[in-house]
A and B are shown apart, each in its own frame.
Chain A
Amino acid sequence: DTEVTQTPKHLVMGMTNKKSLKCEQHMGHRAMYWYKQKAKKPPELMFVYSYEKLSINESVPSRFSPECPNSSLLNLHLHALQPEDSALYLCASSSLAKNVYGYTFGSGTRLTVV
């Protein structure tokens, strides 16, 4: 299995809702990432997990809460989002924190906040 699977593919949520994005990989990668991509912009790093521990938080608002329950799963919990949080959320993994073997990206979750 050489894929990163993200669910759901599309999500519409209200500003008072609580939802979660899920990311799964079975490649044995020990580094996992969340990126946010607005339209016509490059992906921007949000969080990095290395060996299931949060190692980088790029000053992301607390309404985004990451979780790494095990080495194969990465979640992003969403609460009280704003319309400007609408974006494509990409998950990625890499085999080592040093990224020697590069990154594998999921196909993303398109989030719309209404």
Chain B
Amino acid sequence: AQKVTQAQTEISVVEKEDVTLDCVYETRDTTYYLFWYKQPPSGELVFLIRRNSFDEQNEISGRYSWNFQKSTSSFNFTITASQVVDSAVYFCALSGLDSGGSNYKLTFGKGTLLTVNP
């Protein structure tokens, strides 16, 4: 079984603040993939990043950065100098084999609602 925990239900910051969204996962697989998605009020899921279990290299993309640590089963996401347009629900997700061992399933955390105030 696989599980993704996003302990922060809601976060509210003022524009230009840095904010970190936490994600902790559980899986028995040795090969798995981790994702972050953004869901604005319009509803579409916007892909942000994918990491496989063998690649612990941290990544920076503009104002976004991700810290993947297998030792703590965490895949945290930081937004630097937040902007109002960053306001959305952010989901961490894990793709691993289902209980039958033959299909990959994407399991989402409960999401973190980020509100960036002007």
Q: Which residues of A contact B (CB under 8 A)?
A: 31, 33, 41-45, 48, 50, 55-56, 88, 90, 92, 94, 97-108, 110
Contacts A42-B111, A43-B45, A108-B44 known; A103 to B103 CB distance under 8 Å?
A: no
A98 contacts B104, C-beta separation under 8 Å? yes
CA of A99 to CA of B108, assembled, Å: 15
Is the beta-carbon distance between B105 and A43 smaller than 8 angstroms?
A: no
Contact residue among A43, A48, A101, A107 (Cβ-Cβ distance under 8 Å from B42): A107
Once bound together, how far apart are the Cα atoms of A110 and B41, in whole Å? 13
Partner of A42 from B95, B104, B108 at Cβ < 8 Å: B108
Residues on B with C-beta less than 8 A from A98 are: 104
| Chain A to chain B contacts (Cβ below 8 Å), 23 pairs | A31-B104, A33-B106, A41-B111, A42-B91, A42-B109, A43-B45, A45-B106, A55-B102, A88-B43, A92-B45, A92-B106, A94-B104, A99-B104, A100-B52, A102-B50, A103-B35, A103-B47, A104-B47, A105-B44, A105-B45, A106-B44, A107-B42, A107-B44
Q: Which residue on chain A has the smallest CB distance to residue B113? A: A40
What 7 new A-B contacts, CB under 8 Å, besides A45-B105, A48-B105, A100-B33? Answer: A41-B111, A43-B108, A55-B102, A102-B47, A106-B44, A107-B42, A107-B44
Q: Is the CB of A50 within 8 A of B103?
A: yes
Which chain B residues border A102 with CB–CB below 8 Å? 33, 35, 47, 50
Closest to B35 in A: A102
Q: Which residues of B contact A99 (CB under 8 A)?
A: 33, 95, 104, 106
Our pick among B47, B103, B109 for the contact of A56 (Cβ within 8 Å) is B103
Residues of A within 8 A of B108 (CB): 42-44
Mask, B93-118, CB within 8 Å of A = 1, is 00100100011111111110000000
Which residues in A have their C-beta under 8 angstroms from that of B43? Answer: 88, 107-108, 110
B100 CB, min distance to chain A CBs, angstroms: 8
Nearest CB of chain B from residue A110's CB, rounded to whole Å: 7
